[in-house]
């Protein structure tokens, strides 16, 4: 190689390394700034993560609405089960939606492969959908009821050529006693009865790691109604030690299939669910200092579980921790930490070089955190991250007028509808409609758009073609 070629090759490598170790990609930074600017003023608090840490979660729609369990409630309409699960349609639609998300929200955002039941997809199609999401810069997470076998998981993770398709799989398993038809326990009488199934779900992923080196990041989801509210604490106690990285709870809302609305959902609110989670965790779970979107929609507590004790990452009552939060969000907020260690270390070093004040603040925060969690517990208690989440959907009959008014550029007079408008404007969970060039909140998707979309899908993918009868559908 000539001297000139050598210099040019070196320059190309340096440039590639420079781009690879950027703290935040420019399009992601622009998307975050845009999200921040469009938030309602009331949501732009120092605690707000939207527009600073993330543009928000994303989810697919109109892909595979069918499910083979029956939940009471179910946020899908009755028509959802009249649509055939079709891999070709799913992969094409996921690709289309993710391409749009990539264009308007940048890279490195979390996106849920969600519809009806994802494991009704052939494992190769499921893998192709995840690969499309990754190709478009998403961090995909498959939403499932978890009622599938290890062989399905293995065939998803390992291609027909025997090669590993993924280094990491993210799954959210939905387990609660309101779900009917699970193999082995079609009508659970309590949440505790489902613990062996929750454990078996995690164990499948542990086996996958042992046998094929595929890591996993698992969340546990549970719908909460008056019936199982008193058992939330038991679910938290049971699941904390199982290996989930997130325990997420959704108080039921009046959305979807009316035939499945069997209780007074309004008697359970986000506060009641949070109290039960705290009872199960055996500690206060501070959340106000880190907010995703609107507090009427979301509540999250981020921390570390070590030696059966959960410690929050930030002490919300310590002004020094709040200063560390502010500095983190200002300087490192949009950074993707789920890259290789050398890349993350270099990207962090670049930020520190530009903002040296980060370093003493980080050291101070880390020292305080280790003190709070306990050195010994951190050394011997197998520490791992554990986040508690509550996500409360809005009733469909409130979403509709709220969305209609927003579409007309009006603010509703009715305080309930106005409240829903504020929540929709600060929404942290978006779905893409590339054909209309816009994103919509998941609440709008399910309350307003799903019905029409499922009718279209019924015509496109009639269920009889795969031999499934409609008796399974309601």
Which residues make up the interface to ligand SF4 (CB under 6 A)? 293, 297-298, 391-394, 423-424, 427-429, 441-443
- Closest distance between ligand SF4 and the C-beta of residue 293, in Å? 5
Q: Which is nearer to ligand SF4, 235 or 439 (CB)?
A: 439
Closest CB to ligand SF4 among residues 34, 209: 34
Q: Which residue, 59 or 87, is less far from ligand SF4 as judged by CB?
A: 59
- Provide CB contacts within 8 A for 323, sequence distance 6+: 361
Minimum CB distance to ligand SF4, residue 418 (Å): 14
What's the min distance (Å) between Cβ of 440 and ligand SF4? 9
In terms of CB distance, is 115 or 293 closer to ligand SF4? Answer: 293
Minimum distance of ligand SF4 from residue 274's CB (angstroms): 15
Interatomic CA distance for residues 291 and 313, integer angstroms: 14
Half-sphere CA count of 10, side-chain side, radius 13 A: 7
CB 107 within 8 A of CB 24: no
Q: Which of 126, 214, 135 is closest to 168 using CA atoms?
A: 214
Contact 412, 405 (CB under 8 A): yes
Q: What is the largest CA-CA distance in the chain?
A: 78
Closer to ligand SF4 by CB, 306 or 396: give it. 396
| Number of CB atoms found within 10 A of residue 166's CB | 20
Give the total residue count for the chain. Answer: 474
Nearest to ligand SF4 of 270, 335 (CB atom): 270
Q: Is 111 exposed, middle or buried (0-12, 13-18, 19+ CB in 10 A)?
A: buried
- Nearest approach, Cβ of residue 113 and ligand SF4 (Å): 17
Pick from 59, 65, 124, 67: which is nearest to 91 by CA? 124
Nearest alpha carbon to residue 169 among 231, 215, 211? 215
In the 8-state DSSP scheme, what is residue 56?
Answer: -
> How far apart are alpha carbons 447 and 450 in whole angstroms?
7
Report the nearest approach of ligand SF4 to the CB of residue 403 (Å): 10
Name the residue nearer to ligand SF4 (CB basis): 274 or 393. Answer: 393
Minimum CB separation of residue 431 from ligand SF4 in Å reads 9
């Amino acid at each position: 190689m000539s001297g000139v070629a050598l210099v040019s090759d070196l320059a190309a490598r340096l440039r590639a390394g420079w781009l690879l170790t950027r703290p935040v990609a420019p399009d992601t930074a622009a998307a975050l700034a845009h999200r921040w600017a469009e938030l309602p003023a009331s949501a732009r608090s120092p605690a707000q993560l939207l527009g600073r840490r993330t543009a928000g979660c994303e989810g697919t729609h109109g892909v595979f609405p069918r499910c083979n369990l029956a939940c009471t409630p179910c946020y899908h309409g009755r028509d959802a089960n009249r649509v055939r699960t079709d891999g070709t349609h799913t992969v094409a639609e996921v690709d289309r939606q993710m391409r749009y998300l990539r264009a308007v929200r940048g890279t490195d955002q979390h996106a849920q492969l969600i519809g009806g039941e994802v494991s009704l997809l052939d494992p190769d199609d499921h893998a192709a959908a995840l690969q499309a999401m990754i190709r478009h810069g998403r961090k995909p997470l498959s939403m499932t009821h978890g009622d599938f076998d290890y062989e399905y998981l293995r065939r998803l993770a390992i291609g027909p050529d025997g090669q590993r398709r993924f280094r990491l799989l993210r799954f959210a398993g939905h387990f609660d006693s309101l779900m009917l038809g699970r193999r082995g326990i079609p009508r659970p009488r309590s949440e505790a009865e489902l613990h062996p199934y929750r454990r078996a779900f995690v164990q499948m992923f542990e086996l996958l790691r042992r046998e094929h080196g595929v890591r996993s990041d698992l969340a546990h989801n549970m719908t909460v109604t008056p019936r199982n509210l008193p058992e939330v604490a038991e679910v938290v106690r049971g699941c904390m030690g199982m290996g989930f990285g997130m325990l997420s709870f959704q108080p039921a809302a009046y959305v979807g299939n009316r035939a499945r609305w069997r209780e007074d959902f309004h008697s359970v609110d986000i506060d009641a669910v949070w109290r039960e989670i705290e009872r199960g965790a055996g500690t206060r779970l501070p959340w106000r200092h880190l907010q995703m979107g609107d507090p009427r929609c979301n509540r999250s507590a981020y921390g570390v579980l070590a030696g059966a004790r959960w410690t929050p990452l930030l002490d919300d009552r310590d002004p020094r921790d709040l200063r560390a939060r502010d500095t983190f969000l200002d300087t490192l907020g949009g950074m993707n930490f789920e890259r290789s260690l050398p890349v993350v270390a270099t990207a962090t070093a670049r930020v520190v070089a530009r903002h040296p004040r980060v370093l003493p603040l980080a050291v101070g925060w880390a020292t305080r955190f280790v003190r709070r969690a306990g050195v010994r517990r951190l050394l011997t208690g197998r520490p791992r991250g554990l986040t508690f989440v509550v996500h409360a959907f809005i009733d469909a009959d409130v979403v509709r007028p709220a969305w209609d008014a927003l579409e007309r550029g009006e603010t509703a007079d009715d305080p309930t509808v106005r409240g829903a408008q504020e929540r929709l404007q600060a929404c942290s969970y978006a779905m893409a409609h590339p054909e209309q060039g816009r994103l919509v909140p998941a609440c709008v998707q399910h309350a307003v758009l799903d019905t029409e979309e499922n009718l279209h899908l019924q015509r496109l993918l009639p269920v009889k073609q795969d031999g499934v009868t409609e008796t399974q559908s309601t």
